[in-house]
Amino acid sequence: MITVTKAGDALKAYYADATTPIAQVGATQTALGVWAGSLASTTTLLGAASQTPTNPWSGYEAHAMVFTRALTLAEITSIVSVP
């Protein structure tokens, strides 16, 4: 899972598997720069490179979520935890 916050100038990557609890991997990336432009509806997609689709995702993609803010580690843990 990846979280990005422009206001907080941070990108963080998280990882977990069957034997490893969710944790941040790597250093927090900063100095993200200034966003310019807007997202194009024809290329802002999950699972393909275009609406046709070309280059569809070939692998496991069970769930995709987009939030309006970066989630906390506790929120991420809650989402990925299997009861």
Q: Report CA torsion sign: 34, 38, 46, 42.
A: negative
Residue carrying the six token digits 């990557």: 13
Question: What per-residue confidence (pLDDT) applies to 10?
Answer: 93
- DSSP-assigned letter for residue 72: P
Per-residue pLDDT of the chain (83 residues; tens, 9 = 90+): 889 988 889 999 998 887 888 899 999 999 998 878 888 888 788 888 788 877 787 777 777 888 889 999 899 888 877 66
For 41, the token pair is: 């509806």
Phi-psi region of 42 (alpha: psi -120 to 50; beta: other; left: phi over 0): alpha
User: What does the alpha-carbon distance between residue 33 and residue 7 come to, in Å, rounded to a whole number?
Assistant: 11
Domain ranges for the chain = 1-30+40-83
